[in-house]
Amino acid sequence: MKKKTGDPKQRLLETATTLFYNQGYHATGINQVIEEAGVARASLYLHYESKESLLLAFLHQRHIDWMDGLKSYTGEVSKTKEKIAAAFDFLFDNNEKEYFRGCAFLNILSETTDRDTAVLNVIQDHKKDLRAFLAEILTNEKQAVKDHVYLLFESAIVESQLYRNQWPVQEAKKMALGLL
Amino acid sequence: MKKKTGDPKQRLLETATTLFYNQGYHATGINQVIEEAGVARASLYLHYESKESLLLAFLHQRHIDWMDGLKSYTGEVSKTKEKIAAAFDFLFDNNEKEYFRGCAFLNILSETTDRDTAVLNVIQDHKKDLRAFLAEILTNEKQAVKDHVYLLFESAIVESQLYRNQWPVQEAKKMALGLL
DNA sequence: AAAAAGATAGATCGATCTGTCTATTTCTCC
DNA sequence: GGAGAAATAGACAGATCGATCTATCTTTTT
């Protein structure tokens, strides 16, 4: 029993976020979640009907928070190139803050089969939103450039997680800016 | 009990490959492995000292097989551009054969924490080998181009898994060839 | 103050988990 | 055919899994 601030539902979501993100979904047991959230077992099932619904709640909240973070970075500047640069800087800072744990959605994707359609949909929707957001910044660019920047952005996330190093973010940033 | 061809050790590795790759490491239990391999429980621990060592054997074999497959594609042609095109074609065909299950190494990476140093090392070594292999094909190109192609190659894998669609492979292929 | 809702601890469920062990059978090789 | 290795089935251990349930306590609302 650790946390004690906020209401139980909020603490469960926060704890699940930390655990699912840092050790994975299947590697995290419900017992650990309730223990670290300081919440009774029955309270979990009062607010979430199953472990999977807790996962969905986590992904949903993560999408909001992550996109908000990204928007706060790109919103600080006005030019297209600056916004793209800011987007990569967001990845850079995230890596520092979250110890190169990579993309929460892609990580869960790896644990997901085609049968988990609800989970798969949330993940795909998140990436579609991200892709649309980048495309809007690049509104005056050709579709090929929009796609290209998106693909570099994605590999920056994955590869920095893989190598536990910022070089993919910095390289991908240079390449993306070079396309504009 | 399903498989019955080949020796038990081989069947265990084949079954573990299928299961770890398609449903994930933590989602796969040892019981399912031995049941589908048609092998006694004791036989598993005769050949592999733990579940993790079976995972390491899977990753090791997968590295060999996957790189062999890649080399057989690029070995068919002689020009640099053709080899890069062939590398992306390999991804394309892999997606068809393996139902967009993506990169075995990146999938396991998502289930791996910093404490699993043995697993993490195998994954990083695989990607280093891949990167070196692409760099060798691009031996006459600048380092920035080598890195760029590598990053596009990686996102082609990840994004086609995400969308269950070949467009990222085809787009990344065009972009990579456009750099040369 | 009474009623309703929220939260608690903890027992319990059946299933599954990784790993060990024994005892028996099958195979290989000389 | 005989010795030794390999493989087998299956019991077993001890822990954990996700989920349900009861019964009690606390908080909020009216």
What does the pLDDT look like over B103-158, one tens digit per residue?
Answer: 999 999 999 999 999 999 999 999 999 999 999 999 999 999 999 999 999 999 99
User: Hey, of A98, A108, A110, which one would you mutate to test binding to chain B, going by the most B CBs within 10 A of its CB?
Assistant: A110
Q: State residue B1's pLDDT score.
A: 65
Of B102, B127, B152, the CB nearest to A151: B152
Measured in angstroms, what separates residue A76's CA from nucleotide C6's C1'? 43
Report the distance separating Cα A115 and Cα A151, nearest Å.
26
Q: Which nucleotides of D are covered by protein (CB under 7 A)?
A: 6-11, 16-23
Q: What is the DSSP letter of A111?
A: T
User: Which tens digit of pLDDT belongs to each residue from B32-59?
Assistant: 999 999 999 999 999 999 999 999 999 9
Of B residues 41-60, those with CB within 7 angstroms of nucleic strand D are: 41-43, 46-47
Spatial neighbors of A11 by CB under 8 A, at least 6 apart, are: A3, A4, A5, A37, A38, A39
User: Taking CA atoms, what residue in A is nearest to B25?
Assistant: A111
Q: Which nucleotide is nearest to A48 (CA to C1')?
A: D19
* Interface membership of A180 toward B (CB under 8 Å): no
Q: Are the beta carbons of B144 and A108 separated by less than 8 Å?
A: no
Work out the average pLDDT over B62-77: 98
* Interface membership of A72 toward B (CB under 8 Å): no
| Shortest alpha-carbon distance between residue B63 and chain A (Å) | 16
* Interface membership of A15 toward B (CB under 8 Å): no
Res. B79 pLDDT band, cuts 50 70 90: very high
The answer, yes or no, to whether residue B2 has pLDDT greater than 90, is no
Q: Which residues of chain A have pLDDT under 50?
A: none
Q: State residue A96's pLDDT score.
A: 98
Chain B residues whose CB is inside 8 A of the A127 CB are 162-163
Chain A residues whose CB is inside 8 A of the B166 CB are none
User: Which tens digit of pLDDT belongs to each residue from A42-92?
Assistant: 999 999 999 999 999 999 999 999 999 999 999 999 999 999 999 999 999
Q: State residue A4's pLDDT score.
A: 62
User: Taking CA atoms, what residue in B is nearest to A120?
Assistant: B162
Q: State residue B4's pLDDT score.
A: 64
Q: State residue B6's pLDDT score.
A: 76
Quote the mean pLDDT of chain B.
96
Spatial neighbors of A44 by CB under 8 A, at least 6 apart, are: A12, A30, A33, A34, A54
Q: Which two tokens stand for residue B140?
A: 């006459």
Whole-number percent of chain B with pLDDT over 90: 96
Report the distance separating Cα B10 and Cα B44, nearest Å.
11
User: pTM of the predicted model, to two decimals?
Assistant: 0.96
User: Which tens digit of pLDDT belongs to each residue from B10-28?
Assistant: 999 999 999 999 999 999 9
Q: Evaluate if the CB of A43 falls below 7 Å from strand D.
A: no
The answer, yes or no, to whether residue B93 has pLDDT greater than 70, is yes
* Interface membership of B174 toward A (CB under 8 Å): yes
Which of left, alpha, beta for B77 (phi over 0: left; psi -120 to 50: alpha)?
Answer: beta
Chain B residues whose CB is inside 8 A of the A169 CB are none
Q: State residue B23's pLDDT score.
A: 97
Report the distance separating Cα B91 and Cα A110, nearest Å.
17
User: Taking CA atoms, what residue in A is nearest to B108?
Assistant: A110
